[in-house]
Amino acid sequence: HYLISLQNNDGSWFQEPLNTAFVLYALHIYAKTADLNLKKVLKTGTKYLENELKTLTKNILSSKDEEMYPGLDWKAILFGNIFYTLGIIGVIESKEEVILAFKKLESKVIKYRHALTNVEAISSMLKCYELPFMGEPPNELTRFLFRFLLSDCLTNESLRDCFIALNTLTILQNKNKEIVKQAWQEERKHYSQHRNLEYQKLIDKVVQSKLNELGDREEIETLAY
């Protein structure tokens, strides 16, 4: 009820598309089991996000290659989360231009992969592959993301970022188990303390370790991930 009370007349939350995507996703999932009529709330929120995605798509498709790099992390986070939320709701799977924009943005993430250090940007794009119409991520992207995310899990002191990385690694494994298996065989030599572990046992160990680090005053975002 509190979230609903904060919705603007234009369907947004705080007139900001990223916050709207997060809230709309949460309410969409909640509405499946709640004894509460959220049709109007979801409809107006979806309409707002569709308009935002239309604008983003147009800007991405019309941008020159050199214009894509500045703010690439933010573009990936924003587009990825809006695309994902609308995909979960089920309103974008037939829109070819949106898929083209996603692929163009994804190609820039791959191209500039060594400059990207924001695990949330990586995750925002990759989680879109959970959508049933998206197929598998490119092998090159899978291998790069695996190395990046595994390193983040094992070295990053931020619990929030670690949980984001672990969630994304799960998506990678679900989508292309064989590539992940091969990637671990290549990477294990860099982790002397873990090299004798099978990949799933390593992940289980990391998950348990990170869960044990959670304290009573953890930020809500970390707990959510």
Nearest to 166, CA basis, from 63, 11, 79, 174: 174
Overall average pLDDT of the 143-159 stretch? 87
Residue 46 has pLDDT above 90, yes or no: yes
Q: What angle do CA 156, 17, 67 make, to 5 degrees?
A: 75
Residue 9: predicted pLDDT: 95
Mean pLDDT value of segment 78-105? 91
Residue range 41-51: average pLDDT? 96
175 pLDDT band, cuts 50/70/90, is: confident
> What's the rounded mean pLDDT across residues 146-167?
89
Q: Is the pLDDT of residue 96 over 70?
A: yes
- Match 């969630």 to its residue by tokens: 167
pLDDT band at 209 (very low <50, low <70, confident <90, very high): very high
Q: Summarize pLDDT for 51-75 with one digit per residue, the tens.
A: 999 999 999 999 998 899 999 999 9
Amino acid identity, residue 76?
A: A
- Measured on CA atoms in the order 131, 49, 12, 9, is the torsion positive or negative? negative
Contact criterion met (CB below 8 Å) for 92 and 83: yes
Between 216 and 105, whose confidence is greater?
105
Predicted structure pTM score = 0.85
pLDDT band at 219 (very low <50, low <70, confident <90, very high): confident
Terminal Cα distance for the chain, rounded: 22
* pLDDT number for residue 185: 92
Nearest to 74 by CA among 123, 23, 121, 119: 121
CA distance 104 to 113: 14
